Amino acid sequence: MAECASEMNREAMAATAIAHPNIALVKYWGKRDVERNIPAVGSLSITLDGLTTTTRVQFDAELSEDSFVLGGREAPEMQQRVARCLDCIRERAGTSLHARVESWNDFPTAAGLASSASGFAALVVAADQALAVGLPRAELADLARRSSGSAARSLFGGFVELRLTPDDERPTEVRRILEPAQWPLRVAVAVTEAGPKAVGSTEGMLLTERTSPYFQAWVESSEGDLAEARSAVERGDFEALAEISESSCLKMHAVMLSARPGLVYWNGATVECIRRVRELRADGVPVFFTVDAGPQVKAVCLPEAFDRVAGELQAVPGVTNLLESGLGEGARAVNP
């Protein structure tokens, strides 16, 4: 009987959440404050529905430390970041209980597909639910941001903006601009290499800030880029969004390339995919590209153009896989 009661108690401290990666159209690169992980620039993203992270968190009085298993394997390199993220929720819940965390991605991990975004978004939602804290979404986004800047955006669905604020207590603010159904764009992700990326985002950002002569110009131009993209989204102006998104992407990669040593996240197939997307748009196909800290190319298009775009990218030599997505919802708890 006692055993049964403790088993029930354990179940009560467990929860599962899902989250989707998001893709920034106006990019985040650089940190205003490294310790607190405050971005140097605001960003604007779309949340995807075709790629999913599922995370189960189980708090347990018998554990002496947190454990983290990713895709069925212990992931000691992520252990500390996961524990620090859980600390934030524990602090809010007033508990020191440790947790067993298991997470699965249905897409390649750490290859520029924003797995840390969906990972930390799912983690804060599951931990909040498991401890029945009930934090507001804005606060969950703030906690996720401390672990990974882009994760804050995956708390929301559709088109999402992360803004910097002058408030030192709450230095970022995340909000949804449009729901997925209000402008149901499609995304074709051309995978050109499935392995993990060479230089992680945090390390790459710090190197760029320290060594790129263009970093300051990047930061100074970001406000204008954000305003332009926000307005394009609000007006549903695809051509304007295409232009500003490609510009923000290329500008970020230009800053990365100008670090010492330069950060080259692309391979030959990345460049070919970019060229193909540009040719398609010149042909009147409503599509634009974006690329993050990895070699995959994300082609964002109007729904009617999706089959053509996917077919063309699949045919590019070096493209090993093509993932399809629409726009999805923010992170949410699901039944275990």
Q: Residue 58 in 3-state DSSP?
A: strand
* Site membership for ligand DP6, residue 37 (CB under 6 A): yes
Question: Is the Cβ of residue 249 or residue 316 nearer to ligand DP6 in the bound state?
Answer: 249
* Sequence-separated (6 or more) residues with CB below 8 Å from residue 146: 36, 37, 84, 85, 88
Binder among 15, 19, 24, 190 for ligand DP6 (CB under 6 A) = 24
Nearest distance, CB of residue 95 and ligand DP6, angstroms: 26
DSSP assignment letter at 304: G
Distance, C-alpha 210 to centroid of its chain:
24
Contact 262, 256 (CB under 8 A): yes
Nearest distance, CB of residue 89 and ligand DP6, angstroms: 18
* Site membership for ligand DP6, residue 43 (CB under 6 A): yes
Nearest distance, CB of residue 150 and ligand DP6, angstroms: 3
Rounded Cα distance, 144 and 81, in Å: 11
* Site membership for ligand DP6, residue 107 (CB under 6 A): no
Antiparallel, parallel or unpaired: β 98-105 and 321-325 = unpaired
* Site membership for ligand DP6, residue 293 (CB under 6 A): yes
Contact 51, 19 (CB under 8 A): no
Q: Which amino acid is at 177?
A: I
Question: Is the Cβ of residue 97 or residue 264 nearer to ligand DP6 in the bound state?
Answer: 264
For residue 244, give Cα distances in angstroms to 216, 251, 302. Answer: 19, 10, 16
* Site membership for ligand DP6, residue 256 (CB under 6 A): no
How many other β-carbons are positioned within 10 Å of the β-carbon of residue 198?
Answer: 13
Question: Is the Cβ of residue 15 or residue 300 nearer to ligand DP6 in the bound state?
Answer: 300
Question: Is the Cβ of residue 14 or residue 219 nearer to ligand DP6 in the bound state?
Answer: 219
Biggest alpha carbon–alpha carbon distance for the chain:
71
**Binding letters toward ligand DP6, positions 174-213, x by CB under 6 A:** ---------------------------xx-----------
* Site membership for ligand DP6, residue 119 (CB under 6 A): no
Total residues contacting ligand DP6 by CB under 6 A comes to 15
What residues make contact with ligand DP6 under the rule CB under 6 A? 24, 27-29, 37, 43, 114, 116, 148-150, 201-202, 292-293
